[in-house]
C-alpha cells in the first residue's frame, strides 16, 4: 500500500481532535472528510478506517510507541508509525516518520500481547469490571470479539420492499450483499461501501442496523392495530422496525428526553414511509402518567454503558468512566419502575440494552421483579447476546408480562 501524505495528515488531524479535544470519532471523521471534495471512496475509506483503527488500539499503540497524553503531533505520528509496522505497510521516507524502530515495535507488540488489557487495548478499570462481571473465560473472548471491526448490516424496510428485492436493487448500485441465517430482515454487505448515497437509501428501502439490534423489535411481538410505546426511542432505529412489524397500523408513540433525537426520528420515519408514529418529548413525569395503563406493548431500550457496541464506537473505551455506569444503572432501574406503569394489564414489555454486563441486564430485571412495581410482572424469556457467540453486537433483551 502506498501512503498519501494528505490522507495521512487528515488522519493525524482527526486523532488530534478525538484524543486531545475529546470530540466524538464519528463527528470528527465527518468533519475531516469534508477537507477535500476530490477524495474518492478509497481515500475516504482509508481515512475513516485508519482513524478508527488507531482509536481502537490507542492504549496498545501508545504503550508500544512510549507516548503519553496529551499527544503532540510527533506523538500522533509515532502512533501512526506503529499502525504501519503492525499492518506490514512500508514506512515512507517522510521526515515525520524518520527513525521508526520497526524491530522494537514488533518486539514490544509480542511482549504486550501477553497481557489482556494491553492486547485488547482497554483501560484497567474496564478489564477488571469485565472479568468480575463475566468471569475470565467469557470476558477474554468477548472483549476480543468487541475489538473486531463491525460489518455493515442493513435492515430491509418491509413497508416498502422484501429482502430479495432489496438485494437486487443494491446490486444495481454495485453493492453486493448476502443474507444471514436466522436474521430475516438482514442483508450483510460483502464489501464495505457507503450506502447512504444510494437511491435505495433515499427511497427508504433500508436502514443500517446491526443484526443483534434487529432482534429487539420482533422480541416484543407487536401486532397491527395495537397501541405500542417506545419509551427510549432516540433517533428511532427500533421505532422504525416496530412500525414495519405493525404494518403501519395502530398507534406507535415514541418518547425520549431529547427533542433533537426525536426530530431525527421524524425525518427517518418520513423516508421509511412510516405513518403511525407520534413523537413526545418527556418533559416531566406527567408525560409518563398520561400514558399509564394504556399500552399493549412497551419497549424500554434503556440508556446503557454501550459495552456491547464497542466494535462500532471504539472511542467509548476512552470516554466511558465507571461513575457513568453506576449512574446509568440507577436510571435503568428508574425507567423499569416508572415506565412499566404505561402497560395495560396483560400487556408485554421488552427491556433491552446494548451492554453485556449482567448488572445492567438480568440483574436489573431481577431487581425490578423484587420491587413493589415489579410484583405484577413475570419474566417470559430473555436473550443474552454476546459478540463472541453471535458475531454481531453484544445485546440483552428480556420479555416481561404484566398480569
Ligand atoms: C439505547 S438509546 C436508544 C436507541 C434507540 N431506541 C434506537 O433504537 O435507535 C437510549 C435512549 O434513551 C434516552 N434516555 C435517556 N434517559 C432517558 C429517560 N430517563 N427516559 C427516556 N429516555 C431516556 C436517550 O436519549 C437515548 O436516546
Active-site residues, by number, are 354
Q: Whose CA is nearest to atom 7 of ligand 1?
A: 237
The Cβ-side half-sphere exposure at 64, using a 13 Å CA radius, reads: 34
Largest CA distance in the chain: 71
Fold observed for domain 153-208: Alpha-Beta Plaits (3.30.70)
Reported ipTM:
0.99
Q: Whose CA is nearest to atom 4 of ligand 1?
A: 234
Whether the CB of 127 sits within 6 Å of ligand 1: no
CATH of the structural domain 5-121, one choice from 1.10.20, 1.10.940, 1.10.3470, 2.60.120: 1.10.940
Terminal alpha carbon distance of the chain: 62
Name the closest-CA residue to atom 1, ligand 1: 303
Lookup: cell for 227: 397501541
Q: Does domain 213-402 correspond to CATH entry 3.40.50.150?
A: yes
- Tens digit of pLDDT at every position of the chain (403 positions): 899 999 999 999 999 999 999 999 999 999 999 999 999 999 999 999 999 999 999 999 999 999 999 999 999 999 999 999 999 999 999 999 999 999 999 999 999 999 999 999 999 999 999 999 999 999 999 999 999 999 999 999 999 999 999 999 999 999 999 999 999 999 999 999 999 999 999 999 999 999 999 999 999 999 999 999 999 999 999 999 999 999 999 999 999 999 999 999 999 999 999 999 999 999 999 999 999 999 999 999 999 999 999 999 999 999 999 999 999 999 999 999 999 999 999 999 999 999 999 999 999 999 999 999 999 999 999 999 999 999 999 999 999 999 9
Q: 344: CA distance to ligand 1 center in Å?
A: 22
E strands, 275-391, are 277-281, 295-301, 343-353, 377-385
CA 382 to CA 350: how far, in whole Å?
9
Distance (angstroms) between ligand 1 centre and the Cα of 392 equals: 21
**Separation of 287 CA from ligand 1 center, angstroms?**
15
Q: The C-alpha cell of 392 is what?
A: 454481531
Each domain of the chain, given as residue ranges in start order, spans: 5-121, 153-208, 213-402
β-pairing, 277-281 vs 251-256, is: parallel
Atom of ligand 1 nearest to the CA of 334: 19
- Is the C-beta atom of 303 inside 6 A of ligand 1? yes
Q: List Cβ neighbours of 180 (8 Å cut-off, separation of 6 or more).
A: 153, 186, 187, 188, 211
CA distances 380 to 351, 365, 366, Å, are 12, 12, 12
Query: Is 301 annotated as belonging to a binding site?
Result: yes
Contacting residues for 126 by C-beta, under 8 A, at least 6 apart: 307, 317, 320
pTM: 0.97
Amino acid at each position: 500500500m502506498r501512503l498519501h501524505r494528505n490522507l495521512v495528515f487528515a488522519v493525524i488531524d482527526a486523532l488530534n481532535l478525538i484524543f486531545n479535544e475529546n470530540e466524538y470519532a464519528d463527528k470528527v471523521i465527518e468533519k475531516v472528510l469534508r477537507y477535500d471534495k476530490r477524495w474518492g471512496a478509497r481515500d475516504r475509506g482509508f481515512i475513516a478506517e485508519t482513524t478508527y483503527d488507531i482509536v481502537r488500539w490507542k492504549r496498545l499503540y501508545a504503550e508500544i510507541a512510549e507516548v503519553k497524553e496529551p499527544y503532540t503531533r510527533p506523538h500522533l505520528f509515532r502512533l501512526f508509525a506503529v499502525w504501519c509496522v503492525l499492518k506490514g505497510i512500508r514506512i515512507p521516507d517522510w521526515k515525520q516518520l524518520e527513525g521508526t524502530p520497526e524491530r522494537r515495535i514488533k518486539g514490544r507488540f509480542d511482549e504486550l500481547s501477553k497481557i489482556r488489557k494491553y492486547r485488547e487495548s482497554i483501560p484497567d478499570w474496564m478489564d477488571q469490571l469485565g472479568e468480575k462481571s463475566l468471569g475470565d473465560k467469557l470476558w477474554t473472548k468477548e472483549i476480543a470479539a468487541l475489538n473486531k471491526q463491525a460489518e455493515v448490516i442493513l435492515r430491509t424496510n418491509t413497508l416498502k420492499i422484501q429482502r430479495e428485492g432489496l438485494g437486487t436493487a443494491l446490486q444495481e448500485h454495485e453493492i453486493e450483499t448476502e443474507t444471514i441465517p436466522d436474521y430475516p430482515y438482514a442483508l450483510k454487505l460483502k464489501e464495505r461501501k457507503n450506502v447512504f448515497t444510494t437511491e435505495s437509501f433515499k427511497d427508504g428501502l433500508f436502514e443500517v442496523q446491526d443484526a443483534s439490534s434487529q432482534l429487539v423489535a420482533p422480541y416484543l411481538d407487536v401486532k397491527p392495530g395495537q397501541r405500542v410505546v417506545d419509551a427510549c426511542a432516540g433517533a428511532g432505529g427500533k421505532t422504525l422496525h416496530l412500525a414495519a412489524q405493525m404494518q403501519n397500523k395502530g398507534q406507535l408513540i415514541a418518547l425520549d428526553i431529547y427533542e433533537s433525537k426525536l426530530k431525527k426520528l421524524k425525518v427517518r420515519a418520513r423516508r421509511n414511509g412510516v405513518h403511525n408514529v407520534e413523537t413526545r418529548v418527556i418533559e416531566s413525569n406527567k408525560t409518563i402518567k398520561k400514558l399509564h395503563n394504556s399500552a399493549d406493548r412497551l419497549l424500554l431500550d434503556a440508556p446503557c454503558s454501550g459495552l456491547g457496541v464497542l466494535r462500532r464506537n471504539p472511542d467509548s473505551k476512552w470516554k466511558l468512566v465507571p461513575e457513568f455506569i453506576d449512574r446509568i444503572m440507577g436510571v435503568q432501574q428508574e425507567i423499569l419502575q416508572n415506565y412499566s406503569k404505561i402497560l395495560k394489564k396483560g400487556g408485554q414489555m421488552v427491556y433491552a440494552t446494548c451492554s453485556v454486563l449482567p448488572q445492567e441486564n438480568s440483574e436489573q430485571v431481577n431487581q425490578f421483579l423484587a420491587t413493589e412495581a415489579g410484583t405484577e410482572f413475570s419474566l417470559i424469556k430473555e436473550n443474552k447476546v454476546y459478540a463472541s457467540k453471535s458475531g454481531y453486537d453484544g445485546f440483552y433483551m428480556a420479555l416481561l408480562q404484566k398480569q
